Structure formats: structure tokens, C-alpha cells
Amino acid sequence: MNTIYYQRQMEQAPSEKIHSIEVSKICPNPNQPRKLFADEAILKLADSIRQYGIIQPLCVRKIGEGYELVSGERRLRAARELGMSTVPCVILDINEAKSAEISIIENLIREDLNIFEQASAIEALIDTYGLTQEQIAKRLSNSQSFVANKLRLLRLSSEERQKILENNLTERHARALLRILDPALREKVLDKIIEDGLNVTKSEELIEITLSNEPKKSTRARTGIKDMHSFFASIDRLISSVKLSGVAIKSRVVESDEFTEVTILVPNKATTEESSQ
């Protein structure tokens, strides 16, 4: 299942029929991952709709006597802003789980979410709908490490996330901060980054200095982290070396809060001999 599949499923119903549905009968999708909607963007979209109408129909599914939105939240908000009584919709014959999956994936594909909304959306696909990191990566046409790195952002507190968003810091800022395990020290460094307006490179330098100046009692923890980085780097080098020798070795990494799971798949002798012929 890929990006094209989701686009087609959102844009076309089996009958390919567009219905005019009353705005009052459409309820929001409870699984909409986007939590913040800029008023300015909604007003701009409303102005466009006023001039040209709704070019792309909304997608909904039948629920009770009304409809639940699958995709098109901003178009629906803009229509309400304009006082429109009806909107063009495509009715999809899907269940709640598929509706949620389409809504979340659509927003992730369109990069319409901030970095923490993206991470929370991926987490919802895993915790609520049972998708694996590998399945999500495939749906997003991206790597599993991309998904794992997004999930790591959720280790930051809600206060830290808010500060990062309010001060327009990047995902690289956020990921650099995760190197600091002490929440109090991390908050202090974050405030310093904001106060001095540090870019990513300067922020990483500050974090490096901060970690090197930690009290000696934490030296063992820092050394352990450094050793683990070296360990994973050694694995990567060995895998690359084996691949260069002609063996079709495969590997994948799955991160969780407790473990980092490394799986290495080595073809058996017969497979190796066949690939070399």
C-alpha cells in the first residue's frame, strides 16, 4: 500500500459519485492528527473557495444519520467560515479503523503537521491500530529509521515541545536535545538555545560542551552511551563489508523506549551460491 493508493482511495468512491452534503451533518474525524489550525490559513483558503469553489471534494463515511469526515478538515472549516450550507463530498465505504488510518497517513504524506503531531500520529497508528514501524514506513514511502526517529521526539516533555514550536526550532534541534538525559539539564540548555537564538550547529556544540562538563558521577552513563554508538557503528561497518563481498545481507533496526532491536538476515548457502552465478 503506497501514497498513490491512499490518494486514490481518498479521492474516489467505488461509484465515483460526488454528493452535496449539508455541513451540519458532517462531524470531525476524532482521529485527525492535526491539532493546530492557523486562522490565517483557514481565511486564505476561504477566500480561494469564495472565488473558485471547492475544487477537490471532501471525503466522508456514513455514520448513523450523518457523516464523519475522513479528509478535508481545512476545507470544511473554510466552508463553515463562509457560511456554506452544503459541500461536495465523496462517500467512502470504510470502517472506523480504515478511516483513521487514511486520515493520519494523508496528513503525514502532505507534511501538514508539526513535528510532534507527526510523531503522535505515528504512535497512534502503532498503539491504536496495530501497525508496525515497518508497515508505516512502507505506507509513507520512507525508511524505518525515519519512523523511529519521529517516535523518539515523544520523549520530550509537553513543556519542551511547546517551547520548541513557539520558538520555531527545528526537528534537528529537538533530536539534538534528546542526547541530554537529565530533564532539568535539558530544559536549561533548551532555554539557552532559545535565549541566544542558536542555529542547529551552535546548539549541537552547546550540547556537546554541556555533556562533557557533566559531573563525574555521570561519566559512566556517558561512556556507556558512547560505547553503544561505537557498537552500532561497528555493526553497520560489518554489514557494509559483507555486502561488498557479494552477500545479499539485510538488516533492520526497531527502536522502543526500552530496547533497540537489530535484526540481521543472512542468506543461506544455497541462496548465496545462486546469487553469485
For the chain, the farthest-separated pair of C-alpha atoms sits apart, in whole angstroms, at 69
Global pTM value:
0.56
Which of 129-133, 163-167, 272-276 has the highest average model confidence (pLDDT)?
163-167
Query: If you average pLDDT over every residue of the chain, what do you get?
Result: 81
Helix (H) or strand (E) holding 73: helix 73-82
CATH of domain 3-114: 3.90.1530.10
- pLDDT at 233 exceeding the cut of 80: no
Write down the pLDDT at residue 88.
Answer: 95
pLDDT at 114: 87
Q: Going by C-beta distance under 8 Å and a sequence separation of 6 or more, which residues neighbour residue 29?
A: 68, 69, 70, 71, 73, 99, 100, 103
Based on its alpha-carbon atoms, the radius of gyration of the chain, rounded to whole angstroms, reads: 24
Ranges of beta strands (E only) in 44-115 are 58-63, 66-71, 86-91
Q: Report, as an integer, the average pLDDT of 204-222.
A: 74
- Specify the domain boundaries for CATH 3.90.1530.10 within the chain: 3-114
pLDDT tens column, 75-99: 999 999 999 999 999 999 888 888 8
Torsion of CA 134, 136, 139, 140, to 10 degrees: -110
Q: With beta carbons less than 8 A apart as the criterion, state whether 155 and 178 touch.
A: yes
- What local confidence, expressed as pLDDT, does residue 135 receive? 87
- Does the structure show a pLDDT above 70 at 36? no
Instruction: Look at residue 182 in the predicted model and tell me its pLDDT.
Output: 92
For 169-217, give the DSSP string.
--HHHHHHHTT---HHHHHHHHHHHHHHT--HHHHHHHHHHHHHTS-GG
DSSP 8-state secondary structure symbol assigned to residue 2: -
39 pLDDT exceeds 90?
no
Bridge partners for 61 per DSSP? 68
As a whole number, mean pLDDT of residues 99-124 equals: 81
C-alpha to C-alpha distance for 34 and 121, rounded to whole angstroms: 8
DSSP 28: P
Location of C-alpha cell 552500532: 232
For residue 223, pLDDT over 80 is answered with no
Residue type, 274: E
pLDDT of residue 216: 52
Q: Provide the percentage of residues in the chain whose pLDDT is more than 90.
A: 41
Percent helix, percent strand, percent coil in the chain, to nearest 5: 60, 15, 30
Q: Across residues 177-194, what is the average pLDDT?
A: 94
Specify the pLDDT at position 110.
66
